Homo-oligomer: A and B are copies of this chain.
């Protein structure tokens, strides 16, 4: 008799966004004239850069003709894109990187979810709290999370609280952990780690033979000098870290789908007998067995973001959102709120007024100000008492929203 993977049924359904939608719909019914401004989204609002559209159209035309048609491409991505990635995202920062360490994919959600395939289900996992829910959910599916408790916390996950008390800088775990998820600049808090703060984690991982799964999807939003763009800026990180990068937020590829994952050649994990095995080889095996490459036209669109015009267009996109972030920060500060983030990330993490919960604050902003945010508790226990404001909306809506808070 066919059996299911019972880990799946332990995972509670995610009610966060459906609950938000329900409350927004209710308000819209009660107040049909309310001009609701949505600042809860993590999706971009500006269109694709022209260079990417042009490159996609050119590539699509190539697909029309026998002489230029491309069928199956390399599962790991075309050399033209892997080369552009190495040169522009790594070599330009003095980081050595070979093409065969870069695996192009259809998105970081796929990669951060699928990476678990190559690890034993016995590994102990540490995850910052609050966090992007995919890290927890995919480990739960693989049987690494243990059992879910009443508060929503899993018995076998080591949560790394990021809160006001520690300045949103997670402390090293007291128990030994094998896999550590870090996302910086952080979603949802918008905070970052400095070189020195990240170095502690790299050193810990080297000492304990742990792996850091470093999600750098928001790297392009960094404006400050002392914030690492890549974990490989840290000495020794190539021995302990896998890095995830995405074109989604950088270049507006949320609906176009392209990302990449770096697995350095020298990065090892172990068999039960203690034999060191190169993870690059295992991920290559996973990627070539369960994936057939990213769409050719999409890879050309991604490549175009590395041209001089492409870089200028991406910079303009990022600049637009970061000006929104500045407006949100300023508006919230003026209104007397305590806030974090928004300087190196498109998210501002706003503290609920004293005694108010995430959902209470959310409801207040929705009912009194007609603003939709995301309740921080939806990202984990340490998100309680906060909401996330997104800078991905239009300038006009962002300004209007802050006016309402004056």
Chain A interface residues toward B at CB < 8 A:
1-6, 8-9, 11, 43-48, 50, 52-53, 56-57, 60-61, 63-66, 68-73, 106-107, 109-110, 113-114, 117-123, 134, 137-138, 141, 178-179, 208-211, 252, 254-257, 269-272, 277, 279, 282, 285-286, 289-298
Contact = CB atoms under 8 A, between A and B. Distances in A.
Nearest to A114: B290
Given A60-B53, A113-B289, A292-B257, A270 B211 contact: no
A48 B62 CA distance: 9
Contacts of A3: 119-120, 122-123, 178, 269-272
Nearest to A276: B4
Contacts of A50: 64
Contacts of A114: 290
Contacts of A134: 289-290
Contact of A270 (B2, B71, B254): B2
Most buried by B among A4, A64, A107, A138: A4
B138 A2 contact: no
B43 A63 contact: no
A8 B270 contact: no
Contact of A291 (B43, B72, B109): B109
A69 B46 contact: yes
Given A2-B269, A47-B68, A106-B106, 11 more contacts: A1-B178, A2-B270, A3-B122, A6-B120, A47-B66, A57-B61, A69-B252, A106-B294, A107-B291, A138-B290, A257-B295
Contact of A109 (B109, B270, B272, B292): B292
A290 B47 contact: no
A232 to B, nearest CB: 18
A289 B137 contact: yes
9 contacts: A4-B277, A46-B69, A47-B69, A106-B292, A106-B294, A117-B141, A134-B289, A255-B296, A256-B297
